[in-house]
Amino acid sequence: MGQKVAIGKMAVLLASLSDEELTFFRPSLSAVQYCQGKVGSMNMQKVISAVETAAKRNKLIHESYYRETHALYHAIMEGIEGVTRGQPAIGEMSRTVGLRFAVVRGTPYTEIGEGEWIAVAFYGTIGAPVKGAEHETIGLGINHI
Amino acid sequence: MGQKVAIGKMAVLLASLSDEELTFFRPSLSAVQYCQGKVGSMNMQKVISAVETAAKRNKLIHESYYRETHALYHAIMEGIEGVTRGQPAIGEMSRTVGLRFAVVRGTPYTEIGEGEWIAVAFYGTIGAPVKGAEHETIGLGINHI
Amino acid sequence: MGQKVAIGKMAVLLASLSDEELTFFRPSLSAVQYCQGKVGSMNMQKVISAVETAAKRNKLIHESYYRETHALYHAIMEGIEGVTRGQPAIGEMSRTVGLRFAVVRGTPYTEIGEGEWIAVAFYGTIGAPVKGAEHETIGLGINHI
Amino acid sequence: MGQKVAIGKMAVLLASLSDEELTFFRPSLSAVQYCQGKVGSMNMQKVISAVETAAKRNKLIHESYYRETHALYHAIMEGIEGVTRGQPAIGEMSRTVGLRFAVVRGTPYTEIGEGEWIAVAFYGTIGAPVKGAEHETIGLGINHI
Amino acid sequence: MGQKVAIGKMAVLLASLSDEELTFFRPSLSAVQYCQGKVGSMNMQKVISAVETAAKRNKLIHESYYRETHALYHAIMEGIEGVTRGQPAIGEMSRTVGLRFAVVRGTPYTEIGEGEWIAVAFYGTIGAPVKGAEHETIGLGINHI
Amino acid sequence: MGQKVAIGKMAVLLASLSDEELTFFRPSLSAVQYCQGKVGSMNMQKVISAVETAAKRNKLIHESYYRETHALYHAIMEGIEGVTRGQPAIGEMSRTVGLRFAVVRGTPYTEIGEGEWIAVAFYGTIGAPVKGAEHETIGLGINHI
């Protein structure tokens, strides 16, 4: 049996909590691989690219295998669905995002055959391209990898 | 100036953390009104209804004003967009959800004129109607009220 | 050259105005074929069916030709997109509609080769299944026939 | 009790009727605040911006409160759903719009506690970026403010 | 009675098979009008435009009638829904397509009154803008014309 | 290096061609695992379930591993997006489908590390619940497994 880890919850906490707030959860993080990052943009390609680059640089996915890029891409897009709630578009809809994100790779099931899965979480703000004219948003995507 | 509270983050933590894990965040909760609940279903109407009922019973919205029901409804539906990632349907797409949810009402902006806002968060699992055949999911909706 | 008629505007007025308010527009209606109806439901199939039945009964489409049923169906669904704004679902999203509708068939272009087109308009309310907890909604679909 | 006004219908008529056609409805307009405008574009940001600018310039929303910008934004986007029927995109889908729009602010419910609501209506044409290759379209969004 | 032809299947085979593989199906093609083409892009307008241009150049639609452009446009967009599966966007979602396409015009029903219909099929790859990081995709749209 | 197979094209041909038409393609099928089936319904759950059952019965997925069920489910849903073009709903939108389907599992990339992928294709008709009032439709979903 492998070690069951709530990779989605871990990703959400990594994206939304401060370092101090994370202290309590540090022990759980030792069972997974993860990375964190930030991106602010009206351009969804930049958001996608920021996560992909961070995941590759931190060896969360095998860059040379398309199957891992494919798994990550769909997890990112599902996270973006939560962030954008309805239409995965930002600038085209005259809005902008300021996001922290986290990618977590681990084994969320005790059965070893279930293998590794990947979680992508976003937390931050979405709103008009005017300072303060924004509210919180969150998104989480999960995929087998 | 009012007290600025991250009602979205509060809602997400209330929906996803255990009571013990929440300990650290208790002080921040004193500045908002909130309620928590649980719902498991293949029927989206039941999910919507569970949140509406909890919010009304706990006086988070004025039941007799449609404008508050309207604000809550759209926050719920936006949270469901994150949970369902792509199509706000559950049973019709042969999947089921097991969710904890939280509704938070407070003042997320320091400017008093911004008034009250409402946040609805979901955290739990989504998957096939077979035990264990599911993964984590999250959703957050926010609206002015 | 044929007689150019704004079939979409005609349909919208037929669906939203009272008989008295329509008086001013009666002359324009002589150049088109049209029918009006009403439907209230949480079930989208009933809404679709109400329009199809009214259109067939009033000879707005040739019932025995699928190409005309097909043209009407897509016009109805586009009208429903406006009514539901985001997801063409009613009861599944815990909401109900009370609608008046109109179907107009005519020649919106002066060029004879452009032939006949069909417009379907809805006007009424959408909201929670509680009296008064609803607001106005409109939708218009147009197709070549 | 306040004065009940069908702000959605008012907005639709303001966006779709000529000045002469509107004569009959002028008395009802005295109970609401409204503005009208025009926009033609393949760029949805320009459509959104045209409505926001008109609403602010005509004092239909308090420019300095994000909650009012937020209410207006969602009403605009819901109106655009009706205009675009399916995907809120214009140029990306190789189509263009020529629209008249109206924003109406008023009290659609007799109960004073229901407060003010805002309606945004569009009426015009959508089609290929070729003169005449277009048909009518309409959209209406309504929100509490 | 007209000659019933599966225009959708014809279009799919024309878009996905090699010339050699098509040999077996050549006889069926004599009953329809068709054209084939290729397009690779991150820009959906270019994909739409490539099909429209090929269809006009090969006289599959009457260029001067909007009703035929309208029929073709909706068939193209429905084909793109299959290609993009979820959101009809390419570059905005950081992906690219390499597609072969076919447009077929014919009489899919034996009843003469059903007249002509048009089918648009796409077959090729969709994926990251990196060589090899892509998988197959298909789409088919059909409309009365 | 593994044997590169166009599993998507194989799935589409298996779903759309007659046994006789498939003769030419039989040699390519020896390199993949596949199954075929049929389903007619207004209920999307039945469509999903028909494919899942066929895939499990024919050992195309390991029934006891959720990761394989998860991979198949998303491939099915992507195929349904092509079939339904816009909204993955059937009966709720007053339409019915009559579909043949195929599931193919194989190695679409020469690089061994890319491993196995799964393709789900549908081909058949979609339309009103009236005999003959329907047109062709196709859909293809592909996922790593």
Q: pLDDT for F45-96, tens place per residue? A: 999 999 999 999 999 999 899 999 999 999 999 999 999 998 999 999 999 9
Bigger pLDDT: E113 or C2? Answer: E113
Using an 8 Å CB-CB cutoff, list chain C residues near F128: 66, 69, 73
Q: What is the mean pLDDT of the segment spanning C119-135?
A: 96
Cα F96 to Cα A111, C67, E23, distances in angstroms: 39, 17, 33
Of E21, E132, E141, the CB nearest to F24: E21
Burial (0-12, 13-18, 19+ Cβ within 10 Å), E26: exposed
Check residue F1 and give its pLDDT: 41
For E19, residues 6+ apart whose C-beta sits below 8 A from its C-beta are none
Binned at pLDDT 50, 70 and 90, residue B3 comes out as low
| Chain D: closest CA distance from residue A58 (Å) | 34
Binned at pLDDT 50, 70 and 90, residue F3 comes out as low
CB contact at 8 A, D127 and D134: yes
Check residue E4 and give its pLDDT: 79
Q: Does C87 touch chain E (CB under 8 A)?
A: no
Using an 8 Å CB-CB cutoff, list chain F residues near A62: 113
Assess whether pLDDT exceeds 90 at residue C1: no
pTM score, whole prediction:
0.97
Check residue B19 and give its pLDDT: 94
Query: pLDDT tens for residues D16-47?
Result: 999 999 998 998 899 899 999 999 999 999 99
| Chain F: closest CA distance from residue A68 (Å) | 8
Neighbours of chain C (3+ CB pairs under 8 A): B, D, E, F
Binned at pLDDT 50, 70 and 90, residue B28 comes out as confident
- Whole-complex ipTM: 0.96
Q: Does D114 touch chain B (CB under 8 A)?
A: yes
Q: What is the mean pLDDT of the segment spanning D82-106?
A: 96
Helix/strand/coil for E102? strand
Query: CA-CA distance, C71 to B53, in Å (whole number)?
Result: 42
CB contact at 8 A, A104 and A9: no
Give the distance from CA F134 to its chain's centroid.
20
Q: Does A73 touch chain B (CB under 8 A)?
A: no
Q: What is the mean pLDDT of the segment spanning D72-85?
A: 98
Of A92, A127, A130, the CB nearest to D44: A92
Q: Across the interface, do D8 and C117 touch by the CB < 8 Å criterion? A: no
Q: Does A7 touch chain B (CB under 8 A)?
A: yes
Q: Does A119 touch chain B (CB under 8 A)?
A: yes
Residue numbers of chain A with a pLDDT score lower than 50: 1
Q: Does B111 touch chain D (CB under 8 A)?
A: yes
Query: CA-CA distance, E58 to E14, in Å (whole number)?
Result: 15
Look up the CATH superfamily of C7-24+33-144.
Answer: Hut operon regulatory protein HutP (3.40.1510.10)
Closest CA in chain D for residue A96: D45
The whole-chain average pLDDT of chain E stands at 95
Using an 8 Å CB-CB cutoff, list chain C residues near F89: 88-89
Using an 8 Å CB-CB cutoff, list chain F residues near A111: 65
Check residue C8 and give its pLDDT: 98
Between A and E, how many residue pairs show a Cβ–Cβ distance under 8 A? 33
Closest CA in chain F for residue E25: F21
Mutate to test the interface with A, among E92, E96, E131 (most CBs of A within 10 A): E92
Neighbours of chain E (3+ CB pairs under 8 A): A, C, D, F
Q: Across the interface, do B92 and F49 touch by the CB < 8 Å criterion? A: no
Using an 8 Å CB-CB cutoff, list chain A residues near D79: none
Check residue B1 and give its pLDDT: 42
| Chain F: closest CA distance from residue E69 (Å) | 19
Q: Does A70 touch chain F (CB under 8 A)?
A: yes
Binned at pLDDT 50, 70 and 90, residue C3 comes out as low
Q: Does B135 touch chain A (CB under 8 A)?
A: yes
Q: Which of residues 9-68 of C touch D (CB under 8 A)?
A: 9, 12, 16, 21, 24-25
The whole-chain average pLDDT of chain D stands at 95
Using an 8 Å CB-CB cutoff, list chain D residues near B113: 62, 64-65, 67
Check residue E3 and give its pLDDT: 63
For E78, residues 6+ apart whose C-beta sits below 8 A from its C-beta are E120, E139, E140, E141, E142, E143, F85, F86
Query: CA-CA distance, F74 to F55, in Å (whole number)?
Result: 14
CA angle B118, B123, B125 (to 5 degrees): 150
Beta bridge partners of F35: F103
Q: How many CB atoms lie within 10 A of CB E125?
A: 18
Task: Spell A36-51 as b/e; 16+ CB within 10 A means b.
Answer: bbebebbbbbbbbebb
Assess whether pLDDT exceeds 90 at residue D2: no
Using an 8 Å CB-CB cutoff, list chain F residues near B127: 66, 70
Query: CA-CA distance, A121 to A9, in Å (whole number)?
Result: 9
Q: What is the mean pLDDT of the segment spanning F92-102?
A: 97
Q: What is the mean pLDDT of the segment spanning D74-98?
A: 96
| Chain D: closest CA distance from residue E97 (Å) | 15
Using an 8 Å CB-CB cutoff, list chain E residues near C115: 67
Check residue A14 and give its pLDDT: 98
Using an 8 Å CB-CB cutoff, list chain C residues near D117: 135
Query: What percent of chain F has a predicted confidence (pLDDT) above 90?
Result: 90
Check residue A1 and give its pLDDT: 41
| Chain A: closest CA distance from residue B92 (Å) | 18
Mutate to test the interface with C, among B64, B77, B97 (most CBs of C within 10 A): B77
Neighbours of chain F (3+ CB pairs under 8 A): A, B, C, E
Assess whether pLDDT exceeds 80 at residue C76: yes
Query: pLDDT tens for residues D101-137?
Result: 999 999 999 999 999 999 999 999 999 999 899 999 9
| Chain A: closest CA distance from residue D143 (Å) | 17
Of A78, A121, A132, the CB nearest to B85: A78
Burial (0-12, 13-18, 19+ Cβ within 10 Å), E110: exposed
Closest CA in chain C for residue B80: C93
Dihedral sign from CA coordinates of B137, C95, C84, F93: positive
Check residue A113 and give its pLDDT: 94
Mutate to test the interface with F, among A7, A62, A66 (most CBs of F within 10 A): A66
Q: Does C115 touch chain E (CB under 8 A)?
A: yes
Q: Across the interface, do D73 and A134 touch by the CB < 8 Å criterion? A: no
Check residue C4 and give its pLDDT: 79
Binned at pLDDT 50, 70 and 90, residue E21 comes out as very high
Of E44, E66, E70, the CB nearest to D93: E44
